[in-house]
Amino acid sequence: MKMALAALLTLLIGFLLAAQPGQGSVAQANPLPESVAVRSARQAGYLAEALDLSRRQRKAVARSTERYFGQLEQLGETAERPGLVAATTPERLLPSPAALRAAANYEQELARIFTPGQYNGYSWLTRQPGTGR
């Protein structure tokens, strides 16, 4: 009986600690932005799996993706801050011209790396809602 009571008390304390914001909770309200290396590795890994890339293609995609995300970070455009140029209203931001050029260069590099079928699959993936880049 004492063991069951101790286990119940431990569970209750754990729930209380998990419910307190900022103390003992796993998720934080403002997570730190990921580094370029982490984001590019995740993106390249996703593309490698989704498009069944060869080893040589994986390396080339990883290089191109890291270069692209590095360019965006230098421009100050990340997933947390996607645009710098205001459209018709200040709430709506568009990518800067330099970011659009970087994206076009990235697309061209991928077109040289992928087979036509893989590039078609990549184009389809980028058009799907919620997948982003």
Q: Which two tokens stand for residue 105?
A: 């260069």
Chain-wide mean pLDDT for the chain?
A: 77
Interatomic CA distance for residues 18 and 131, integer angstroms: 31
Is residue 13 in some structural domain? Answer: no
pLDDT of residue 77: 75
Is residue 4 in some structural domain? Answer: no
Is residue 111 in some structural domain? Answer: yes
Q: Are the C-beta atoms of residues 47 and 53 closer than 8 Å to each other?
A: yes
| Cross-strand bridge partners of residue 93 | 86
Is residue 58 in some structural domain? Answer: yes
What's the mean pLDDT in 19-31? 50
User: Where does the pLDDT of residue 38 fall: very low under 50, low under 70, confident under 90, or very high at 90 and above?
Assistant: very high
Q: Are the C-beta atoms of residues 69 and 36 closer than 8 Å to each other?
A: yes
DSSP designation for 34: P
Is residue 14 in some structural domain? Answer: no
Residue type (1 letter), 76: G
Task: Provide the residue range defining the domain that includes 119.
Answer: 35-127
Count other C-beta atoms under 10 Å from residue 80's C-beta: 10
Cα atoms in the 13 Å half-sphere on the side-chain side of 26:
2
Q: How many domains is the chain partitioned into structurally?
A: 1
pLDDT digits (tens, 9 = 90+) for 91-127: 666 777 888 899 999 999 999 999 999 999 999 999 8
Is residue 3 in some structural domain? Answer: no
pTM of the shown model? 0.66
Interatomic CA distance for residues 55 and 41, integer angstroms: 14
